Every structure is written in structure tokens, then in C-alpha cells.
Structure 1
Amino acid sequence: MDLNIKGKTALITGGNSGLGIETAKFLAREGVNIILSDKKKGEALEKAKAEVEKEAAMGAKVVTIAADISKNEEVLSLANQIETDFGGAHIVFHSAGARGAADDFLKLTDDDWMKTIDVDLMGAVRVCRAFIPQMQSLNWGRMILVASENAFQPYEEESPYNACKAAIINLSKCLSRSYSKENILFNCISPAYIETPMTDAMMEELAEEKNITIDEAVKWFVKNKRPHIAMERRGKPEEVASMVAFLCSEHASYINGTNIRIDGGSVESAFG
């Protein structure tokens, strides 16, 4: 399908792996210029650039710019560089984030909460605040934020992450009401248990704790911690990226202020 976005420019935060890099590949195939951003410059980000460049078509450019989303000055610097080099970003897929502190609620400190909020909620606030003006100038924009199944079906050991992801959905809805008349669309996706570095780390920790293999840890986790996943497996990053790419396209021109669950049936409620 031609997404009709050839020549647009897209920023992908969290762009060195997982959902970020897979979405970048989809968009690069459509002739979209790609800026891959992550917290630090390094081998992982450059490797991601090389992978995306292999997929790039129709003269699409692929560059990397490091920026820590927990630091407003770095987000502003990122925005300024993109405006200087590309004239601004038409598309932002904000996939950077972290699981944050996870423990019994009564053991979590203010510092645990604030560190998670600073990355998972305020990171999105900073990115939106920096790039909405560019989209206003371009009179066209697609902002896709990453929420989670946790926003609807919270897990008791992840209360800061749960709260942040619920807030992301509310933020996206709020912004969709403010800027849609300027042809800027805001939507969320809510993945569940996808093969990403974050869940890989969780599985490595679980495997070590139980003295089992990673594959055994995944099977144990699905059975015991995510029993509502009807498909009984982890999702693949490309299964999420294909939906993100569609939401970035001209074909999604009447989808605004919504949240799309990509969760293999994980959320138990029909109306969550």
C-alpha cells in the first residue's frame, strides 16, 4: 500500500531498537526521511541507522541524533537541528521510555515515582511541546505516542509505569482536541508484551531468578503473568510497526484522538 507520505520527515525516539527501528524501516520504505534518536550516540544507534538505510527507498535520508528525553534542553536541541536540516518533522513516533521502578507499592519511594514519571510521561510532554510548532508551520502532522496494555489492565508491581501510560492516553486525547484543526493528528498505541529490549531484560532477570532458559522464562511469563494473551506468545515489533506506519499515513486522515491496542487479546475487557 502506498501510504502517500513520500518526502515527509519522521522523528523516531527510542530509535535504536524494538518498535522504533521497525517503524523506521516501514516508513523508510515509503520514502520518508528518518531521524533515529536515542539517549546516547553509540554502536547501537549506528547499527540501527545501517539497518534502516538498507530499507530506504525513493531517496529517503536516514540520520541519527542523540537526545535524552529527560532533559528539556536536549529535546529542544533535537528539534532545532531537525528544523535546520529538514525544515521540521511531519511525523513523530515517540517510542522512547522505560519500565521504571517496579516493586510492591509500599516499597516505592517518591524518587522511584519521579524517575519513572520524568521519562515516561514528561518525556512525551517535552517531545510534543518541541515538535507541535514545527507541525503547525508545516500544516501537517502525525504524532504517535506509545501507551500500554498496563493503562487498562494494570499489573500490581508496576504502579508508576501503569499510571504514566494511562496519562499518555489522556495527554494524546487532550492534544488531539487542541490541534486537529491545524491538520495535526494525535493517536496512541497500546502494545502488550512485545519482543523489545525492555521485555528481553525482564525475561533475562526471570530466567536467572528461576534458573531456566530465556525461552522457558517467556513461556512461564505468558502462562503465569499474562494469561489473558489469547495468542499465547510475545508480539513481534513489526506487528506493532505496521499499525504505526498506517497511523502516520494519509490513509489515517480521520483517525484522531484514539488509542489502538496491539496486544494479542491481552486486555480481558471488551471495552477497556
Structure 2
Amino acid sequence: MKIDLSGKTALVTGSTAGIGKAIAKGLAATGAEVVINGRGQAKVDATIAAIGSEVAGAKVRGVAADVSTADGCKALLAALPQVDILVNNAGIFEPKPFFEIPDKDWSRFFDINVMSGVRLSRGYMQGMLKRNWGRIVFISSESGLNIPTEMIQYGMTKTAQLAISRGLAELTRGTAVTVNSVLPAPTMSEGVETFVRDLAKQNGQSVEEAATNFVKQHRPSSILQRFASPEEIANMVVYVCSKQASATNGAALRAEGGIINTIA
């Protein structure tokens, strides 16, 4: 299968690192014009340069904007009024005991992980419907179904993304626009790698031992039995964005290594 997205413009939020960067790189390799997004111009510029050097003929540009705020989303929409592909990837996580999570954290997680996708989908989806082609993808998590006790506030936002994605898909009925969500496994992105290194230091372990023990302790149902790589998640997302994925709509697609112990 050859995925060709030449002539399509794709926006990937939170794409200066981790899964978002891997998705942006994967989409650039299909010929799409990819728009990098992050809060700081320096990181956006560095990511554009990196992908440009790694993907021959890549068409990459960027818009620095904080999509966790209404003003940031408004600025992004003003700078980039139209896209064919929207990947709502921007998000945060933080392990914290439930009884220590203050109200402001619940609001912060909801604004970044949920409202960024709501605002941008509201801004871009009508144009997709009018042109009768488009792809919207929410990067959710297996934590949206298996709520992690160590970060309930995160799991809440990932469940919300699944509901929004399915609801928006219902609005595309009879069109060539699709809305789906992808559920990654715990993924060794930069932020997670820092978290695992801290665990290793605390427990006197190697990074590899800490990573293995985390999966065994906190995701014991994993069939993969390891962290996924950002590229493994990006492969699923690139397919969902493709023309070949035209019959995949309203789906919650798993790239979580078998952690969710159900057949449907």
C-alpha cells in the first residue's frame, strides 16, 4: 500500500516532540504539506529543520501557538484558516494521587487535552464538510478505557476525547470526511523517557529495568510487554489520515499492545 497525500495540508498539534513529531514526519513522507505546532517558535523551527533534513522533499512549515487556550487556538486558526487533516495530539500527563489533585489541575488537563481539540475541530471541520474531504484524528490513550489510578485526571480527558470523536463522526454522515481516535500504549516519548529516568534513579535501576517494571506493575495486561515507540503510533495515525482509510469512521483504533483485555 502506497499512501499518497500530495496536495493535502495536515496540522499536527503539539508536534515538536514525541508522538506528534513522529506523526508529522510520517505525514511529510506521504507528500502532505505538514504544519508543525508548538508553544515556542524556537522548537517549531528546530522541528521543521529536523524533518526537512530527514524526509527528502518534505513540505513543512510551522505556527507557534498555545492551543491550550482559546486565544491560542484563535491565533492558530487565523494563521492557518484551512486544513485537510487535523491531528489533535497536544496533551499532557502527570502521575499524581487522586487526593492530591487540586481543582486547577482538573481544569488545566481538560483545557489542554480536550478543549484544544474541540476548538480546532470546530474551526476546521465545517470547511472539510464543505469541500467533502477531510480527516480529524484525536490522539487518545488506552487510559481512556483503562483509567489509571495513578493519574485519574489524565484518564478522564482521554475518555472525553473518545466521546467527542465519536460524536463528531456522526456529523460526517454521507460525506468523505472521517473522524477517528487512536489509543496509544504507554509510549517512550521525550516526556515519558524523563519520567522513566526519574523512576530508575529513585529505585536504583537501569532505565531499561525501570521501563520494564513500570509496564509489568502498571500495565500488567500488556501483550507487548514494553513501551511503544512514537513511530509505531505514528504508523497507525498516518494510515487513518490516508485516502485508503475512507471506510474507517467513528472508530477508536488501538495501538496499545493488547493492554485493553477485550475483543471489542
User: 1:188–1:258: 8 Å Cα contact kept in structure 2?
Assistant: yes
- Equivalent in the alignment of 2:226: 233
Q: Does 2:31 align with 1:37?
A: no
User: 1:151–1:162: 8 Å Cα contact kept in structure 2?
Assistant: yes
Matched residues in 1 for 2:205 and 2:170: separation?
49
- Equivalent in the alignment of 1:165: 158
- Equivalent in the alignment of 1:53: 52
The offset of 1:182, in angstroms, is 3.9
The offset of 1:163, in angstroms, is 0.9
The offset of 1:72, in angstroms, is 1.3
Query: In structure 1, what residue type is equivalent to 2:206?
Result: T
Among candidates 116, 126, 145, match of residue 133 of structure 1: 126
Matched residues in 2 for 1:200 and 1:258: separation?
29
SS at match of 1:112: helix
Identity of aligned residues (%): 30
SS at match of 2:21: helix
Q: Deviations over 1:227-247 (max 9, x none)?
A: 211121111111111111111
Matched residues in 1 for 2:184 and 2:70: separation?
26
SS at match of 2:210: helix
Among candidates 84, 90, 102, match of residue 90 of structure 1: 84
Matched residues in 1 for 2:74 and 2:13: separation?
14
- Equivalent in the alignment of 1:63: 61
Unaligned runs of 5+ in 2: none
Q: CA RMSD in A?
A: 1.7
Change (3 A) 1:171 1:138: same
User: 2:10–2:84: 8 Å Cα contact kept in structure 1?
Assistant: yes
SS at match of 1:173: helix
Matched residues in 1 for 2:190 and 2:88: separation?
16
Count of residues in Structure 1 that have an aligned counterpart in Structure 2: 264
Within a 5 Å distance, the mapping from 1:198-237 to structure 2 comes to 198-237=191-230
The offset of 1:78, in angstroms, is 1.1
Q: Structure 1 length normalisation: TM-score?
A: 0.91
SS at match of 1:181: coil
Matched residues in 2 for 1:91 and 1:111: separation?
32
- Equivalent in the alignment of 1:77: 75
User: 1:98–1:116: 8 Å Cα contact kept in structure 2?
Assistant: yes
Matched residues in 1 for 2:184 and 2:134: separation?
22
Query: In structure 1, what residue type is equivalent to 2:30?
Result: E
The offset of 1:166, in angstroms, is 0.6
User: 2:69–2:112: 8 Å Cα contact kept in structure 1?
Assistant: no
Q: Structure 2 length normalisation: TM-score?
A: 0.94
